């Protein structure tokens, strides 16, 4: 009887089955088996300076690579000389990022039906805004056992006389804005107030509403839905690309909202959502500008650099879900230097659109995000901007703390605070004002 019923379950078409349940450890192990990997090199320890594998914080030991892949050289060694060449080179780069780094998004296009569940007037600081609460219901007819809803809110100035630019933030749900001033005294205006002062609006999308931030969730959410509840193939997308997919669907909604100038929508996020921001900007040409905050490894930091967080951390069971399964290979037997691409090429894929790269002070934020690694990747993306008739970062020298490099179409600023985008909002807004 048992045998019969389990056979029956096996015979059920995938669409009627419940998602496979695996823990992150089980799924991580499963990928290692698929990739024929026996063991992975451990990541760095970011906390305990006494640990044998404590993160490298010595600049003299950070450059473990002898060369970086050149975005302006085709795989066959031929140079990329024109904008037309670049269009072809982009395809090569996307193929490498898809297969080895962030994974491939599914071919199937999932329809999202956006519902405005609430509209209310609010006062933010001294500004009157209209805030809409939105839910994007993802068509799950291909696998009804998996329900996916994208949560987002949109706030625009109540008295606006025309469509307004909007900054979409990947929201943590908590307040990652400026911290209370330790000296007391007046608080700086929040990022929302700063945007409203320009007459702009903001949207906050909740990435974990449509893709969990852990490996155990990969058979659910939009990744699970696309796979009908089955575990990922080695080149399937990870959470970063899934989060980017949701931002694109959020932008689909903004294109239909009469309050929004959808040609002027920015994407912004911090840390893991800083990574998601850069991935979104590279893959979604409709976003006009990006504010990439403290994104570190897997984001704007050169993956080949050994400083702070390592590729081996991203390949471990706590973070691998952000990436494609194939990425594990670069933590054993391969090395980060074997990666066909690196972060400067992800930034280059955003060209010619403007990108602002932000970080805090190593003394406050810590060294984990690798401030210099993010600066260098931004600088090395510059030749692609120049080829397309734009201005790159304009410097190969890391500027002093709190010195903004925003004269070109790539921007960089290191603020003196911690793991937050807070102190860099005024600089980002100044940078964005060149375009909006
Ligand atoms: C961890 C992780 C980072 C990530 C960060 C965050 O520190 O190692 O890669 O950016 O969490 O999202 O806060």
pLDDT in tens, 376-430: 999 999 999 999 999 999 999 999 999 999 999 999 999 999 999 999 999 999 9
Q: Is the pLDDT assigned to residue 278 strictly greater than 80?
A: yes
Nearest protein CA to atom 12 of ligand 1, as residue? 272
Interatomic CA distance for residues 88 and 105, integer angstroms: 20
Interatomic CA distance for residues 147 and 243, integer angstroms: 16
296 lines ligand 1 (CB under 6 A): yes
Write the pLDDT tens digit of every residue in 315-336: 999 999 999 999 999 999 999 9
* Ligand 1, atom nearest to 272 Cα: 12
Mean per-residue pLDDT of the chain: 95
Whether the CB-CB separation of 145 and 229 falls below 8 Å is answered with: yes
Distance in Å, CA 176 to ligand 1 centroid: 14
Q: What is the predicted pLDDT for the residue at 173?
A: 63
309 lines ligand 1 (CB under 6 A): yes
Find the mean pLDDT for residues 137-160: 98
Mutation pick for ligand 1 pocket among 243, 296, 301, 419 (CB with most ligand atoms within 8 Å)? 296
Distance in Å, CA 275 to ligand 1 centroid: 9
How far separated are the first and last CA of the chain, in Å rounded? 67
DSSP state of 15: G
**Adjacent-strand bridge partners of 289:** 266
Find the mean pLDDT for residues 4-25: 76
368 lines ligand 1 (CB under 6 A): yes
Distances from the Cα of 383 to the Cαs of 34, 287, 329, 349, 410, in angstroms?
Answer: 38, 21, 30, 12, 11
* Ligand 1, atom nearest to 322 Cα: 9
* Ligand 1, atom nearest to 313 Cα: 8
pLDDT band at 1 (very low <50, low <70, confident <90, very high): very low
Distance in Å, CA 272 to ligand 1 centroid: 5
Distance in Å, CA 25 to ligand 1 centroid: 19
Distance in Å, CA 108 to ligand 1 centroid: 30
Q: What is the predicted pLDDT for the residue at 176?
A: 45
336: closest CA among 45, 11, 62, 20? Answer: 62
* Ligand 1, atom nearest to 297 Cα: 9
Distance in Å, CA 297 to ligand 1 centroid: 8
Q: Is the pLDDT assigned to residue 177 strictly greater than 70?
A: no
Find the mean pLDDT for residues 223-248: 98
Q: Is the pLDDT assigned to residue 281 strictly greater than 80?
A: yes
Collapsed DSSP state (helix, strand, coil) of residue 378: helix
* Ligand 1, atom nearest to 295 Cα: 10
Nearest protein CA to atom 2 of ligand 1, as residue? 272
Q: What is the predicted pLDDT for the residue at 184?
A: 64
Distance in Å, CA 401 to ligand 1 centroid: 22
Distance in Å, CA 33 to ligand 1 centroid: 26
Interatomic CA distance for residues 157 and 360, integer angstroms: 30
Contacts of 343 by beta carbon, 8 Å cutoff, 6+ apart? 299, 300, 301, 302, 303, 373, 374, 377
Contacts of 11 by beta carbon, 8 Å cutoff, 6+ apart? none
Distance in Å, CA 271 to ligand 1 centroid: 6
272 lines ligand 1 (CB under 6 A): yes
Note the pTM of the prediction, 2 decimals: 0.95
271 lines ligand 1 (CB under 6 A): yes
109: closest CA among 226, 224, 19, 207? Answer: 226
* Ligand 1, atom nearest to 275 Cα: 10
Find the mean pLDDT for residues 159-184: 76
And the tokens for 178?
A: 């400026």
Q: Is the pLDDT assigned to residue 250 strictly greater than 60?
A: yes
Write the pLDDT tens digit of every residue in 45-81: 999 999 999 999 999 999 999 999 999 999 999 999 9
Between 183 and 110, the higher pLDDT residue: 110
Distance in Å, CA 362 to ligand 1 centroid: 15
Distances from the Cα of 44 to the Cαs of 37, 70, 219, 234, 309, in angstroms?
Answer: 20, 27, 28, 24, 6
Collapsed DSSP state (helix, strand, coil) of residue 4: helix
Q: Is the pLDDT assigned to residue 8 strictly greater than 70?
A: no
Mutation pick for ligand 1 pocket among 271, 275, 278 (CB with most ligand atoms within 8 Å)? 271
Nearest protein CA to atom 7 of ligand 1, as residue? 368
DSSP string, 187-217: PPPPHHHHHHHTT-EEEEEEGGGTS-SSGGG
In degrees, to the nearest 5, what angle opens at C-alpha 106 toward C-alphas 115 and 290? 65
Contacts of 109 by beta carbon, 8 Å cutoff, 6+ apart? none
Distance in Å, CA 14 to ligand 1 centroid: 35
pLDDT band at 172 (very low <50, low <70, confident <90, very high): confident
pLDDT band at 175 (very low <50, low <70, confident <90, very high): very low
Nearest protein CA to atom 8 of ligand 1, as residue? 309
């Amino acid at each position: 009887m048992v045998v019969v019923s389990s056979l029956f379950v096996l015979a059920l078409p995938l669409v009627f089955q419940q998602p496979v349940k695996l823990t992150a450890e089980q799924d991580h192990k499963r990928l290692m088996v698929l990739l024929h990997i026996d063991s992975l090199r451990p990541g760095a320890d970011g906390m305990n300076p006494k640990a044998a594998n404590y993160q490298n914080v010595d600049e003299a030991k950070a450059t473990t690579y002898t060369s970086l892949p050149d975005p302006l050289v085709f795989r066959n060694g031929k140079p990329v000389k024109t904008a037309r060449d670049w269009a072809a080179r982009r395809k090569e780069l996307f193929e490498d990022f898809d297969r080895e780094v962030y994974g491939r998004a599914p071919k199937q296009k999932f329809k999202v039906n956006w519902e405005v569940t609430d509209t209310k007037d609010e006062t933010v600081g001294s500004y009157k805004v209209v805030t809409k609460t939105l839910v994007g219901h993802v068509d799950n007819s291909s696998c009804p056992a998996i329900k996916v809803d994208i949560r987002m809110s949109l706030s625009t100035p109540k008295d606006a006389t025309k469509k307004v630019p909007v900054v979409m933030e990947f929201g943590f749900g908590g307040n990652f804005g400026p911290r209370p001033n330790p000296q007391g005294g007046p608080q700086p205006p929040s990022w929302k107030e700063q945007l409203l002062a320009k007459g702009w609006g903001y949207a906050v999308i909740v990435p974990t509403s449509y893709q969990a931030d852990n490996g155990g969730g990969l058979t659910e959410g939009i990744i699970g839905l696309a796979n009908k509840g089955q575990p990922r193939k080695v080149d399937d997308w990870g959470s970063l690309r899934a989060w980017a997919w949701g931002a694109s669907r959020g932008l689909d909604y903004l294109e239909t909202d009469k309050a929004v100038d959808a040609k002027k929508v920015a994407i912004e996020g911090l840390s893991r959502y800083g990574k998601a921001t850069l991935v979104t900007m590279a893959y979604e040409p409709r976003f006009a500008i990006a504010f990439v905050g403290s994104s570190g490894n897997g984001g704007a930091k050169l993956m080949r650099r050994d400083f702070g967080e390592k590729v081996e951390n991203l390949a471990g069971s706590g973070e691998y879900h952000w990436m494609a399964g194939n990425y594990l290979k670069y933590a054993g037997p391969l090395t980060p230097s074997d990666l066909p691409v690196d972060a400067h090429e992800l930034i280059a894929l955003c060209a010619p659109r403007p990108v602002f790269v932000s970080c805090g002070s190593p003394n406050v934020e810590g060294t984990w995000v690798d401030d210099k690694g993010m600066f260098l990747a931004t600088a090395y993306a510059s030749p692609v901007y120049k080829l397309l008739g734009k201005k790159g970062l304009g410097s190969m020298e890391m500027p002093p703390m709190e010195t903004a490099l925003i004269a070109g179409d790539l921007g960089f600023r290191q603020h003196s605070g911690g793991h937050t985008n807070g102190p860099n909002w005024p600089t980002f807004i100044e940078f964005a004002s060149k375009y909006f």
